[in-house]
Amino acid sequence: MKIICIGRNYSEHAKELNNPVPDQPVVFSKPETALLKDNKPFYYPEFSNDIHYEAEIVIKINQTGKHIQEHFAHKYFDEISIGLDLTARDIQRECKEKGYPWERAKA
């Protein structure tokens, strides 16, 4: 399974965080372990003291495609859900300041 995330596609939230609004959304990935399954418990990571949360739309894409016309898009997904996205803001800030990828703050 591949989890692809789209960031900074909501301009008001980017502005709220004092982030520039890019011409194109930021694309990043998360490990499969980012999904909770079978009602297993969730634990906050011990390496962060500044966890932020956001509600996200989750879409399961069920087939491959390329340059799909908008009126056919509904044929390429089969599940929609609500997700809870967590970000370790202190880790994210540290990574950004050093020019490192900030995926660690999202995984």
Residue 2 lies in a domain: no
Q: Find the DSSP H helices in the chain.
A: 11-16, 89-98
The 10s digit of each residue's pLDDT in 81-90 is: 998 889 999 9
Model-level pTM greater than 0.85? no
Q: What is the pLDDT of residues 29-43, one digit of tens each?
A: 888 888 888 888 888
State which residues form the domain around 76: 31-105
Total count of domains within the chain: 1
Residue 42 lies in a domain: yes
Classify residue 21: in a domain, yes or no: no
Assess if residue 22 is contained within a domain.
Answer: no
**Position 18 in a domain:** no
Residue 26 lies inside a defined structural domain of this protein: no
For position 97, what pLDDT does the model report? 94
Q: Are 107 and 95 in contact (CB under 8 A)?
A: no
pLDDT band at residue 68 under the 50/70/90 scheme:
very high
